[in-house]
Amino acid sequence: MLKPLNLDASAPWRSRFEAARIVNSDIATRNPRRGVVTSNKDGAYQLYAWDVPTGQLTQMTDFPTGKVGGTISADGERIYYLHDEGGDEIGHYHYKPISGGDPVDISPDMPAYASNYFTESFTGNHYGFAAANQFGFFIYVIDNVRGGEPLFRFESQSLSVGPLLSYNGEIAVIATTEKAKSLHFNLEAYDIQTGEKLGELWDGPGTSVQPVGFARRAGDMRFLATSSASGYPRPLIWNTRTNERFDLPVDDIEGDVTAWDWSEDGRLILLRQMHMAQSKLWLYDAESKQTTALNHPAGTYSKAYFSPDGTIYAHLSDATNAERIIELEMSGAFRRVVLDAAPDQSGIHPQSVTFSSGDGTPIQAWLYTPEGDGPFPTIVHTHGGPTGVQTNRYMPDIQAWIDHGFAFFTINYRGSTTFGKDFQDAILGNLGDLEVQDVVAGVHWVIDEGIAQPDMILKTGRSYGGYMTLQCIGKAPDLWAGGMAIVAIADWKLMYEDQAETLRGYQRALFGGSPDELPEAHKKSSPITYAEQVKAPLLVIQGRNDTRCPERQMEVYEAKLRGLGKQIEMSWYEAGHGAMTIEEQVRQMELMLRFAYRVLG
């Protein structure tokens, strides 16, 4: 049963949102005493210069809507980031000197662009970035000393990522979807000085080769990548000079195996295994060709890399521990906390469960249940992406629902990563169909198991998970007491017209074409198509500056539901795709709690 609604300033759920988190980090390749981290320790996600030996953090950005992505220069003297307006993720790359001074625009003469990648070579002699606008995807490599016109330029109408630069920047690797025209990448290597295409890595139709990076040594042109040709991601080494390829012998490891980092001497490779949404780290020795499992602490590892001291730095979290950086011995044994987050929080740990979808496909999910006997009012959640996965990680909103007596059921639907290529690719070209089948089957499972009270089930999710919320309440309207969608997709066609070019490329890859090329597929996959079938009241929380899920398509959806006499509440906030400040995250949680208690009586 529902517990009393607790919105007090001292409510335990609030302290979990206020817990400091370290969500990203990197260390300068030529100055290992300096690094960059992203943290919300001062109330919003911002970039911090990291003094690695002492752990001191110095705030470098102060965007009102937060800033997550940043890159430290090879010499550790400056931090690069995309300077945008209001979190819209469109602008110019700037750098800010760590020693002090004003930010510098590195591309002042270019029109504003969307971007998902910036890098420097290991020596820092070259930098490169991707820029997308209405004319396509552009990738540049520029001399870091002389500046001026790019040394190298790549252009494509298809989703493309890069450049990944060799040690001295002689070679650039580009990942592009040009061959597949879907969400499958092939790699291309180019000589920076001549522009000559040196080689290509592709495993044929239906496969994807994902880039990782070059070895960290001068003259070493080995490049780490991951291929899905076997049905699961598997790591490989590609020599970009000779075009030779070596697939790491890891077939005896279950699930996805991806490469994460090279050791400085080029001998060891750090691997992550993901099986049934759970992570484990491994080491591969390129000389002995042996793979060793690390005996490390349990939890979800979101990033790990070799440290300057010959150990491993890893980002670790779980249901009650916010993400922090820990140091591991090469055996995996815990050594120390490098950068701590907030103290451990109280809460419930989840159980990994599996149920069968409507066609018999096994679906993994995480189940959180409060104390006491069921059935409980239940939140059914879907993650964003779709190319993502829900793991046992720190999510304060889950624990807020548990505090109030709800069960929380989060489903890794088809389209999720880490369950194999066929599982991930099953939805391509037909979005919002199999995923809904999986969610519906999950709802029936939690009811049959005596966990969920059938008339008190709410659907929620963010981004693609928000899209799934709108799609579920339209296509399976009898299952829900209400829906709560955050930064959601309501109309794929209108969204395509307004969104950033990086996301247009991603959308074309998901569908296999644009809305003009595939109008029926986009219509079939849009929640607005099923507006008349909606029965449950709906809360939508959307960002005014969101260029991933822009505002107009949601305004049209809201107007259609209101015109049909449906119950919809809209809450707009002045930022982009996601709340980066603790204050806004808490406000949204309050809105959802109030909504849930209102619709459930």
Question: Which pLDDT score, from 0 to 100, does residue 343 have?
Answer: 66
Question: Which pLDDT score, from 0 to 100, does residue 545 have?
Answer: 84
User: Where residue 309 falls among pLDDT bands split at 50, 70, 90?
Assistant: confident
For the cut 70, the answer to whether the pLDDT of residue 61 exceeds it is yes
Q: What's the whole-number mean pLDDT along residues 8-33? A: 93
Question: Which pLDDT score, from 0 to 100, does residue 549 have?
Answer: 87
Question: Which pLDDT score, from 0 to 100, does residue 548 have?
Answer: 85
Tell me the per-residue pLDDT of 101-123, one tens digit each, with 9 for 90 and over: 999 999 999 999 999 899 999 99
Tell me the per-residue pLDDT of 508-535, one tens digit each, with 9 for 90 and over: 989 999 999 999 999 999 999 999 999 9
Question: Which pLDDT score, from 0 to 100, does residue 381 have?
Answer: 98
Please say whether the dihedral angle defined by the alpha carbons of residues 144, 150, 152 and 154, taken in this order, is positive or negative. positive
What mean pLDDT is reported for the chain?
94
Q: Percentage of the chain with pLDDT > 90? A: 85
Question: Which pLDDT score, from 0 to 100, does residue 38 have?
Answer: 96
Query: pLDDT: is 503 or 99 the higher one?
Result: 99
Omega prior to 235 cis, within 30 of 0? no
Reported as half-sphere exposure (CB side, CA atoms, 13 A), residue 295 has a value of: 2
| Terminal Cα distance for the chain, rounded | 11
Tell me the per-residue pLDDT of 452-489, one tens digit each, with 9 for 90 and over: 999 999 999 999 999 999 999 999 999 999 999 999 99
Domains and CATH numbers, the chain: 351-600 (3.40.50.1820)
Cβ within 8 Å of residue 447, ≥6 positions away: 375, 454, 457
User: Where residue 31 falls among pLDDT bands split at 50, 70, 90?
Assistant: very high
Tell me the per-residue pLDDT of 134-165, one tens digit each, with 9 for 90 and over: 889 999 999 998 888 899 999 999 889 999 99
Tell me the per-residue pLDDT of 179-233, one tens digit each, with 9 for 90 and over: 887 789 999 999 999 999 999 999 999 899 999 999 999 999 999 999 999 999 9
Q: In degrees to the nearest 10, what's the CA dihedral of 496, 116, 319, 310?
A: 160
Q: pTM of this prediction?
A: 0.91
Per-residue b/e over 433-461, b at no fewer than 16 CB within 10 Å? bbbbbbbbbbbbbbbeeebbbeebbbbbb
Reported as half-sphere exposure (CB side, CA atoms, 13 A), residue 49 has a value of: 19
For the cut 90, the answer to whether the pLDDT of residue 546 exceeds it is no
Cβ neighbours, 10 Å, residue 154: 22
For the cut 90, the answer to whether the pLDDT of residue 600 exceeds it is yes
Question: Which pLDDT score, from 0 to 100, does residue 2 have?
Answer: 86
Tell me the per-residue pLDDT of 314-372, one tens digit each, with 9 for 90 and over: 999 998 888 999 999 999 999 999 998 776 667 889 999 999 999 999 999 999 999 99
Please say whether the dihedral angle defined by the alpha carbons of residues 68, 71, 76 and 77, taken in this order, is positive or negative. negative
Would you call 476 exposed, middle or buried from its count of C-beta atoms within 10 A (0-12, 13-18, 19+)? Answer: middle
Question: Which pLDDT score, from 0 to 100, does residue 344 have?
Answer: 65
Least confident of 280-289, 291-300, 545-554: 545-554
